[in-house]
Amino acid sequence: MKSLFLSLSLCVFSLGSTYAQMHKLFKLDYQFVASEMPKNAEFAEIEAFQTVYVNDKLIKVSPSTLESPIYLVDKKSNIGSIIFPDSQQYTVVSTGNMTMEEIEGMSFDFVEGKTKKIAGYDCKLAQLRIESFAEGVEASIIDFWYTEAIPSAYWGEFDMLSLIPGAVLEFTSAGNGFVVTQVSKVDLEQSEFEVPKDYTFLDLEEEEANDADSIGTLAGMQLADNRFIYSNDEGTLYGLADEDDKHITGLQFTFIDYYRDGVAIASDSENRFGLIDINGKPVVPLTYEYVAVDYNSGEYLFSKDGKVGLINKEGKILLKPEYDQIATMIDGKAAVSKDDLWGVIDTQGKTIIPFQYEMITELNKTNFVVYHEGRMGLYNLKTNKLVKDGYDYISLSQDSPLITVQQGEKFGFINPLGEIVIPIKYTAAGTFASGEAIVAEDPNGEDQYVINMKGERVEGK
């Protein structure tokens, strides 16, 4: 499992014709984070761990260091090349041919009704269940949050991502993994997708090539000012070092996250999670099943005995671990599940909306969204009354009164009273942020542009 995530420090290449040509691509910047883009200024200045460029024909995955390979993929031929800048070599592999039947001991589940906004895009959830063959060890679950507004990207050990109908913007296990912190559009020349002419072909068997594609580790990552990760030769244990490579701690961790406000999530050799200070000393003992940041509140979700609670960075328990799930805190409230029913609580654990719903997918200051039997309904948060139901999809904005809805194959926008404000006519639509939303009207939803809250196109965007 660890190698699956650590190998995201790898890369992808695509063969193409040699004539001068420009390609329009989505640029996805990945970071080692547990959830959405952090608001911590120091962390935001850290270079992206890995960048993926993708459109409907090409994929390129570029790491931030020369020690890791670059992976390029031609999606039409499903031929990829792994190139090794450090040794100026390359090898060729097949990719994108995986079928569901070939994932031995694993199964995908596309979860209806769950959505999440990542880097400005509305994402759906797919879960990969990896069965354990060891007696008494439970299966591992990987959460893949993906958007169909961006073409799928897959490479190497992550060839399974070709089975997901869109780009994966976040994948995590036990609250730790990788997330796209920024999506932009760029133009790249054809030469960016070709092996340099002076590189030497490395003749590797397919299995050897996959092994070569799995050498990345957390080692060398900068976590804070004058704090870096070092590892053992196998890349299975980690410690903290300063910029002079002086070891601050021993090799006692299996994971260390970026620092936020002087603390970082870490796990020990038994994969128990807690928080450590800048010198690797436990601030919150490493005793929990997982710890993950809730960026809206700045607090930390944690799991104990299979139940979820909330703590602050000093380890004070804000919400007891008695919930099955706790969604992100919004304006001092959170949608939570308990005994298979969902409700809304405040930061003191007081019930705001009774535990009576099959699933609450989102909430903001005025509304919450309920999923029931494949459809979504909009409710008033103050009165707990249904406002409008029957939509295939509803996404709330946190700073705008307009709400994104889907009816059949088309999207539009309603207000908190359920009235249509912008017609349901788009083939793709994001959620309003800072008074703007991304939409598209072409059949494939790829020719995207920006509108304001009057439905008018914003020039230059």
Q: What residue ranges define each of the domains in the chain, with the CATH number in brackets?
A: 2-212 (2.50.20), 358-461 (2.40.128)
What's the average model confidence in pLDDT over 14-37?
Answer: 60
Distances (CA, A) of 292 to 255, 265, 298: 12, 7, 10
Distances (CA, A) of 72 to 78, 96, 182, 189, 337: 10, 12, 21, 14, 42
- Asked if 138 contacts 153 with a C-beta cutoff of 8 angstroms, the reply is no
pLDDT for the residue 265: 92
What's the average model confidence in pLDDT over 67-74?
Answer: 83
Of the chain, the end-to-end C-alpha distance in Å amounts to: 40
Contacts for 51 with CB less than 8 Å, ≥ 6 apart: 27, 28, 29, 30, 61, 62, 64
pLDDT for the residue 217: 53
pLDDT digits (tens, 9 = 90+) for 324-363: 888 778 888 999 999 989 999 998 899 999 999 998 988 9
How does the average pLDDT of the chain come out, rounded?
81
Residue type, 189: E
pLDDT for the residue 425: 96
Contacts for 162 with CB less than 8 Å, ≥ 6 apart: 95, 96, 97, 98, 152, 154
Tokens of 263: 């603390």
> Which residue is it, tokens 């994932």?
103
Distances (CA, A) of 332 to 117, 327, 345: 19, 12, 9
Length of the chain measured in residues: 461
Whether 279 has a pLDDT exceeding 90, the answer reads yes
